[in-house]
């Protein structure tokens, strides 16, 4: 857990910031954060998941954030701060601390910035960063070592590109976006035409990638440019590590995609969807708004019903899939019953 770098926060300061109610010592102070089950003196913890409630009564954390409606089963030895949502409050507190830390600034001497590039105010550009011709970099942007920004690329305000991020030519990244180490935006889509002799001819990928505002993308994600037009990641999308998004895909607003998922070319994903780890989605289909797809599901056709929950491969409605799985686990017993019935039938026939 990150330390608060010698900054000390009292329960009263935290409660005032979060509009919370204190139960205990308002002068109790913390300088660090911890998991509730690993709490130590001087740390702040939170309780959001009921299965961790048992740790609340023994934790050594000095302050614990809890939900207002939590009814205690017994006395606690720590100072409590009741808030509407402990998880969100903890996140807000960490965000406040993060923003209070000293911000990096300046340009490294060994960064390669084309003279035609436009760099906004308060930009931080670290070692071995490359910024191409006519690229536009917004205000308060942070470019960590070995970031590459291609020709005519556009990076909005308050963007953070961690080490090794590559933004190809003509691609656009909106405001307040975070891209983690090793992510590639705008690489060629997987486009090849099969020839009569069995070989493949590459189809030039002429489009770009557009990432709208408030998007966060994990490490080692690949987002391919469109064959023509744009691959589009809409506002507020959150993408985990090791995700592949192919050419001409469109991801709707505030959709979440978890690690190792893959979305094939020209598929359109609705807004507020949740796509689990290792999900595979074929190309040229549409997923309605609010759809939830469980881990390792394989989606082979369009999902038209909003809010549907899917499971399995091929992915089907979760209720139907659960009933099928209940039958599946009983197949050995059912098989034996069929064999026994066949024997009885043969015996009756012989009589």
Six-digit token pair at 334? 């059912």
Tell me the catalytic residues.
247
The torsion defined by the Cα of 269, 274, 276 and 281, in degrees rounded to 10, comes to -10
8 A C-beta contact, residue 234 and residue 257:
no
The enclosing H or E element of 90 equals helix 86-100
State how far the Cα of 255 lies from the Cα of 146, in Å rounded to an integer.
Answer: 29
10 Å CB burial of residue 316 (0-12, 13-18, 19+) is middle
State how far the Cα of 60 lies from the Cα of 323, in Å rounded to an integer.
Answer: 45
10 Å CB burial of residue 275 (0-12, 13-18, 19+) is buried
3-state helix, strand, coil in the chain (%, to 5): 20, 30, 55
Q: From residue 317, how far is each of 285, 292, 295, 327 by CA, in Å? A: 17, 10, 14, 16
State how far the Cα of 161 lies from the Cα of 180, in Å rounded to an integer.
Answer: 6
Q: From residue 248, how far is each of 33, 186, 229, 257, 284 by CA, in Å? A: 42, 11, 7, 17, 9
State how far the Cα of 233 lies from the Cα of 254, in Å rounded to an integer.
Answer: 10
User: Which residues, at least 6 apart from 83, have a Cβ–Cβ distance to it below 8 Å?
Assistant: 18, 19, 20, 65, 66, 67, 68, 89
State how far the Cα of 329 lies from the Cα of 267, in Å rounded to an integer.
Answer: 34
């Amino acid at each position: 857990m990150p330390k608060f770098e010698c900054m000390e926060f009292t329960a009263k300061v935290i409660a005032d910031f979060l509009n919370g109610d204190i139960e205990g010592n308002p002068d109790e102070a913390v300088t660090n954060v911890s998991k509730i089950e690993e709490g130590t003196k001087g740390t702040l913890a939170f309780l959001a998941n009921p299965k961790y409630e048992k740790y609340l009564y023994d934790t050594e954390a000095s302050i614990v954030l809890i939900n207002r409606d939590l009814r205690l089963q017994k006395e606690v030895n720590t100072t409590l701060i009741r808030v509407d949502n402990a998880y969100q409050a903890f996140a807000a507190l960490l965000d406040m601390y993060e923003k209070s830390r000293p911000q990096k600034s300046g340009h490294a001497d060994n960064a390669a910035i084309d003279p035609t590039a436009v760099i906004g105010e308060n930009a931080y550009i670290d070692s071995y960063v490359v910024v191409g011709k006519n690229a536009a970099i917004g205000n308060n942007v942070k470019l960590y070592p070995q970031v590459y920004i291609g020709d005519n690329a556009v990076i909005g305000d308050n963007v953070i590109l961690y080490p090794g991020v590559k933004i190809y030519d003509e691609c656009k990244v909106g405001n307040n976006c975070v891209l983690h180490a090793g992510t590639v935006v705008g690489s060629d889509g997987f486009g090849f035409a099969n020839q009569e002799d069995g070989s493949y001819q590459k189809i030039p990928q002429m489009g770009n990638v557009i990432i709208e505002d408030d998007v966060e993308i994990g490490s080692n994600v690949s987002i391919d440019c469109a064959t023509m037009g744009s691959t589009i990641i809409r506002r507020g999308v959150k993408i985990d590590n090791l995700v592949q998004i192919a050419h001409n895909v469109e991801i709707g607003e505030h959709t979440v995609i978890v690690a190792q998922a893959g979305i094939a070319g020209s598929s359109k994903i609705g807004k507020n969807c949740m796509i689990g780890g290792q999900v595979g989605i074929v190309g040229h289909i549409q997923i309605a708004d609010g759809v939830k797809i469980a881990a390792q599901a394989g989606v082979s056709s369009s999902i038209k019903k909003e809010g549907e929950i899917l499971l399995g491969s091929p992915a089907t409605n979760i209720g139907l899939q659960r009933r099928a799985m209940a039958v599946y686990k009983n197949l050995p017993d059912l098989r034996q019953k069929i064999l026994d019935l066949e024997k009885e039938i043969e015996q009756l026939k012989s009589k």
